[in-house]
């Protein structure tokens, strides 16, 4: 499973970030969401959602081996007992979708629950029911 | 502290630089709900009645109410408040975007500024860290330009409110801007912010908003999201936003055209919603957590002028800077929208002020000599550009118009006040009330002057009869309670008007957030209390019977509509007087338009009655007593 991004549709409402944090942390706090919206204003005046693209770079750079792939969903799962919150994966992520928060001692990565896609009213992010081929084949990204 | 509030209030004295973090007054929030309510009460309590609105004794408040940021429909608003330099009464104005939620995420319910800074500053709120910073570098920048530079300097994740040169220089209809196109435009809040030498407020926060029952709130809002996605209004709303109503208003003969001379514009197809989305639209744009994206971010391309971006024009700007200025090209309307936004002028009042100047020019009351050799003709983008430059720099007669339409008419004289389209100093919104008497009454009686967000009755007038005024007062009163209630909650009312989310559903959201169990009727009572407090505040400051201030300009009854579907229609002065009589009686005010003691005590505001009595404007007791219920529940079709 993946999330398809249709950047031209995005209106910058960030409803996705609200529901993400509520779903995973039971609080209204978009700072704990696992996706973000880039806003390019005033010129050219466009938004772009950034979501996990399952590239797997975080898995490779994690010195603790705390990040692993869930081959059934394609998500990269953080083992909270192993993660030291060192931040190496954060700076490595090409989409900047690995997050840290002062309340937490581990990083936040999308688990592809897809709740965000159920509220997006403009199809800027949609559920993409295909497995990334490399993951389906059990290969490295 | 009840859930839904952060529990912390910031008080910043700009004169001495003192920053205090205080516990939020729990009782005050319970009694007044926050947002518009808390702003009204703090201004009433703290601003001396003789204080200059642009002086150190006025306060300037920024706050976000219960629903803002808290996963609710349209919960995106931030409210600004102070005594208005435009109306000399209680002033408040709000905007969407992301700033209100950010203030809560940073941990603050409200910020109360007092005094005047000795030098230009901006306020940086980065979670608990609150600083007054030097803004010399930013002073003089346009509102949009300043937001862009501050984002580069501080970081994209700061939410920023700015003023432009207009607010810096005390132009009375200045606005506050945010998110490259959201404005708190009305009542001159930008002028107050500028008077305090605050160029910008930047906020970033990463804390949670604590709510009483998150699980139930999540289900409540999630279900509303899924339900409203299928609403028939959703698609046109997402496509056009409020610009959809340009055609509608014109077809229904309420479109202000060439300074409200007539109510139907012959070239409407050149500036309507369809032309906006086909010629200028760059992207659809939404406020925090909103799934119906009414914002239309646009680009104006005009030969010989720089290409500019602006959010809008939404309906009001489109009407007041389109037909009201006789514009023939949607690119020109977007360009004017940009000019006003970047100067930091309210694009509603700005349109009204320019239309007034154009009619004065047409009638020979101002001349090319007054305009530095330029003209001020209907439909001329060059004339608009030059005129606004005169106003923002207060050059020559530009200084007259810097005070808004009312003050400009006082300077120009020669009967121009007849077509200075304002009430209490606030320029009219984009609807002509001559063939919509409820709308006219709404303008006449609104606490902040002629602004439609207090009560909008075009569909009411159409349903109940456009040539009769009977029964309109009760409905206007109800609307004056329910519509500002959304400003009290700091929530957008458009979901209620357009997508049929019920007032009860909003009240339910409030209760799930706070743990209260208030009914919608109790909430409306809070709104009525706020309305009456503002009336008392206005009378105490302006020292005359309320009726004195409640008349529209004489064009409203002297001139019948000259063209279009409304040709020959219009109200009489007798109808205007009758509507006021009805309205006061239904409100529990005396014939002079002054609230009675019985009413104020019924609302739990004996203190306001005492103060009003001291000032000499307490209403006389009403024969037969006050009405038990003020206002009649009504669901208008739209808005």
B373-386 confidence digits (pLDDT tens): 999 999 999 999 99
pLDDT at A125: 98
| Percent of residues, chain B, with pLDDT higher than 70 | 99
Q: Where are the alpha helices (DSSP H) in B199-346?
A: 214-229, 234-240, 245-251, 273-279, 315-320, 330-343
pLDDT(B1) > 60 = no
Q: Which fold has domain B8-204?
A: Aldehyde Ferredoxin Oxidoreductase;  A, domain 1 (3.60.9)
Q: Kindly list the residues from chain A whose CB atom is less than 8 angstroms away from the CB atom of residue B297.
A: 41, 45
Q: Does an H or E element contain B42, and which?
A: helix B35-46
CB-nearest to B180 from A28, A30, A41 is: A41
B156 neighbors B139 (Cβ within 8 angstroms): no
Q: Does A30 touch chain B (CB under 8 A)?
A: yes
Residue A125 forms part of a structural domain: yes
Q: Kindly list the residues from chain B whose CB atom is less than 8 angstroms away from the CB atom of residue A118.
A: 226
pLDDT at A138: 66
B267-325 confidence digits (pLDDT tens): 999 999 999 999 999 999 999 999 999 999 999 999 999 999 999 999 999 999 999 99
Inter-CA distances, B262 with B350, B368, B427, Å: 19, 25, 17
pLDDT at A129: 87
Per-state percent for chain A, helix, strand, coil, to nearest 5: 25, 20, 55
The predicted model gives B162-174 an average pLDDT of: 98
Closest by alpha carbon to B342, among B505, B502, B211, B147? Answer: B147
**Whether A15 and B156 lie within 8 Å, measured CB to CB:** no
Q: Kindly list the residues from chain A whose CB atom is less than 8 angstroms away from the CB atom of residue B205.
A: 31
Interface residue of A37, A45, A120, A126 to substitute, partner B, most B CBs within 10 Å: A45
A82 neighbors A64 (Cβ within 8 angstroms): yes
Which CATH number fits the domain that encloses residue A125? 3.30.70.20
**Whether A22 and B218 lie within 8 Å, measured CB to CB:** yes
Cα B177 from Cα B164, distance rounded (Å): 8
pLDDT at B324: 98
- Answer CATH for B433-499+519-615 from 3.30.470.20, 1.10.599.10, 2.60.120.10, 1.20.120.420: 1.10.599.10
Cα B573 from Cα B559, distance rounded (Å): 11
Cα B524 from Cα B519, distance rounded (Å): 9
B71 neighbors B218 (Cβ within 8 angstroms): yes
Instruction: With cut-offs at 50, 70 and 90, classify the pLDDT of residue B625.
Output: very high
CB-nearest to A46 from B222, B225, B283 is: B283
pLDDT at B637: 60
DSSP characters for B506-531? HHHHHHHHH-----HHHHHHHHHHHH
Counted domains in chain A: 1
**Whether A28 and B205 lie within 8 Å, measured CB to CB:** no
End-to-end alpha-carbon separation of chain A, Å? 15
pLDDT at B228: 97
pLDDT(B2) > 80 = no
The predicted model gives B615-629 an average pLDDT of: 96
Interface contacts A/B by beta carbons within 8 Å: 94
Q: Return the domain boundaries, chain B.
A: 8-204, 240-420, 433-499+519-615
Query: Which 31-70 residues of chain A touch chain B by CB within 8 A?
Result: 31-32, 38-39, 41-47
Domain B240-420 annotated CATH 3.40.309.10: no
DSSP state at residue A28: B
Supply the mean pLDDT for chain B: 97
Residue A136 forms part of a structural domain: no
Note the ipTM here: 0.96
pLDDT(B635) > 90 = no
pLDDT at A141: 45
Query: Which 103-132 residues of chain A touch chain B by CB within 8 A?
Result: 118-122
pLDDT(B454) > 60 = yes
**Whether B209 and A27 lie within 8 Å, measured CB to CB:** yes
pLDDT at A22: 98
Below-50 pLDDT ranges, chain A? 141
The predicted model gives B34-46 an average pLDDT of: 97
Q: Kindly list the residues from chain B whose CB atom is less than 8 angstroms away from the CB atom of residue A99.
A: none
Q: Taking phi first (over 0 means left), then psi (-120 to 50 degrees means alpha), and beta for anything else, what does residue A111 get? A: alpha
The parent domain of residue A21 ranges over 2-129
Chain B: closest CA distance from residue A14 (Å): 6
Instruction: With cut-offs at 50, 70 and 90, classify the pLDDT of residue B633.
Output: confident
pLDDT(B639) > 50 = no
**Whether A15 and B229 lie within 8 Å, measured CB to CB:** no
Interface residue of A6, A8, A12 to substitute, partner B, most B CBs within 10 Å: A12
Residue A141 forms part of a structural domain: no
Do the domains B240-420 and B433-499+519-615 sit in the same CATH topology, yes or no? no
Query: Dihedral of the CA atoms B297, B301, B305, B307 (nearest 10)?
Result: 50
Chain A: closest CA distance from residue B154 (Å): 15
Q: Does A11 touch chain B (CB under 8 A)?
A: yes
Residue A54 forms part of a structural domain: yes
Closest by alpha carbon to B511, among B208, B74, B70? Answer: B70
Q: Kindly list the residues from chain A whose CB atom is less than 8 angstroms away from the CB atom of residue B77.
A: none
Interface residue of B289, B309, B341 to substitute, partner A, most A CBs within 10 Å: B289
Residue of B nearest to A121 (CA): B291
Chain A: closest CA distance from residue B201 (Å): 18
Cα A42 from Cα B236, distance rounded (Å): 25
| Percent of residues, chain B, with pLDDT higher than 90 | 98
B567-583 confidence digits (pLDDT tens): 999 999 999 999 999 99
B423-450 confidence digits (pLDDT tens): 999 999 999 999 999 999 999 999 999 9
């Amino acid at each position: 499973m993946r999330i398809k991004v249709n950047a031209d549709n995005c209106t910058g409402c960030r409803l996705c970030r609200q529901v993400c944090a509520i779903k995973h942390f039971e609080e209204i706090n978009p700072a704990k969401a696992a996706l973000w919206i880039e806003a390019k204003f005033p010129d050219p005046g466009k938004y772009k959602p950034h979501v996990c693209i399952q590239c797997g770079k975080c898995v490779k750079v994690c010195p603790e081996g705390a990040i692993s792939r869930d081959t059934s969903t394609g998500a990269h799962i953080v083992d909270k007992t192993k993660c030291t919150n060192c931040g190496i994966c954060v700076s490595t992520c090409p989409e900047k979708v690995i997050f840290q928060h002062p309340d937490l001692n581990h990083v936040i990565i999308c688990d592809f629950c897809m709740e965000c896609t159920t509220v997006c009213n403009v199809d800027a992010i949609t559920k993409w029911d295909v497995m990334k081929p490399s993951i389906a084949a059990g290969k490295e990204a | 502290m009840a859930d839904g509030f952060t529990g912390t209030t910031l008080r910043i004295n700009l004169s001495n630089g003192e920053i205090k973090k205080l516990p939020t007054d729990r009782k005050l929030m319970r009694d007044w709900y926050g947002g518009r309510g808390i702003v009204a009460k703090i201004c009433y309590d703290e601003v001396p009645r003789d204080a200059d609105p642009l002086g150190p004794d006025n306060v300037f408040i920024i706050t976000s109410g219960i629903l803002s940021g808290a996963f609710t429909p349209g919960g995106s608003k931030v409210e600004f408040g102070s005594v208005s330099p435009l109306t000399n009464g209680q002033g408040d104005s709000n905007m969407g975007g992301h700033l209100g939620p950010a203030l809560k995420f940073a941990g603050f319910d409200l910020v109360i500024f007092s005094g005047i800074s000795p030098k230009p500053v901006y306020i940086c709120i980065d979670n608990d860290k609150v600083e007054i910073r030097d803004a010399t570098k930013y002073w003089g920048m346009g509102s949009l330009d300043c937001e862009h530079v501050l984002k580069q300097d501080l970081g994209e994740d700061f939410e920023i409110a700015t003023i432009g040169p207009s607010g810096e220089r005390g132009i009375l209809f200045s606005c506050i801007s945010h998110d490259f196109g959201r404005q708190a435009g009305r009542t001159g809040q930008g002028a107050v912010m500028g008077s305090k030498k605050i160029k910008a407020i930047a906020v970033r926060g990463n804390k949670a908003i604590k709510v009483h029952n998150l699980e139930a709130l999540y289900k409540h809002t999630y279900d509303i999201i899924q339900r409203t996605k299928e609403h028939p209004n959703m698609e046109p709303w997402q496509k056009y936003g409020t610009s959809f109503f340009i055609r509608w208003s014109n077809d229904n003969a309420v479109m202000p055209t060439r300074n409200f001379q007539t109510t139907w514009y012959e070239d409407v197809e050149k500036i309507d919603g369809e032309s906006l989305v086909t010629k200028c639209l760059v992207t659809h744009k939404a406020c925090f957590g909103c799934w119906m994206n009414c914002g239309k971010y646009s680009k104006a391309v005009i030969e010989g002028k720089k290409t500019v971006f602006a959010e809008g024009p939404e309906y009001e700007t489109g009407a007041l800077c389109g037909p009201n200025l006789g514009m023939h090209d949607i690119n020109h309307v977007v360009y004017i929208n940009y000019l006003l936004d970047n100067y930091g002028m309210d694009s509603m009042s700005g349109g009204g002020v320019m239309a007034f100047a154009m009619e004065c020019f047409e009638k020979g009351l101002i001349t090319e000599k007054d305009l530095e050799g330029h003209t001020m003709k209907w439909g001329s983008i060059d004339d608009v550009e030059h005129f606004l430059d005169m106003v923002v720099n207060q050059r020559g007669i530009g200084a007259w118009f810097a005070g808004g339409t009312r003050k400009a008419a006082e300077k120009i004289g020669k009967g121009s006040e007849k077509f200075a389209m304002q009430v209490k100093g606030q320029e009219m919104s984009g609807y002509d009330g001559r063939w919509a008497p409820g709308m006219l009454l709404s303008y006449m009686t609104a606490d902040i002057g002629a602004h439609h967000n207090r009560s909008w009755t075009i569909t009411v007038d159409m349903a109940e009869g456009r040539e009769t005024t009977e029964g309109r007062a009760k409905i206007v009163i109800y609307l004056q309670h329910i519509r500002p209630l959304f400003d009290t909650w700091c929530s957008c009312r458009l979901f209620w008007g357009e997508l049929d989310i019920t007032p009860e559903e909003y009240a339910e959201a409030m209760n799930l957030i706070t743990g209260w169990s208030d009914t919608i009727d109790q909430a409306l009572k809070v709104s009525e209390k706020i309305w009456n407090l503002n009336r008392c505040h206005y009378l105490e400051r302006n020292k005359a019977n309320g009726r004195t201030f409640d008349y529209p300009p004489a064009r409203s009854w002297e001139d019948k509509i000259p063209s279009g579907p409304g040709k020959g229609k219009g109200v009489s002065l007798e109808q205007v007087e009758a509507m006021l009589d009805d309205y006061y009686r239904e409100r529990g005010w005396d014939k002079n338009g002054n609230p009675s003691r019985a009413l104020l005590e019924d609302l739990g505001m004996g203190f306001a009655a005492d103060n009003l009595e001291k000032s000499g404007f307490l209403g006389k007791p009403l024969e037969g007593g006050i009405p038990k219920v003020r206002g009649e529940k009504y669901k208008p079709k739209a808005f």
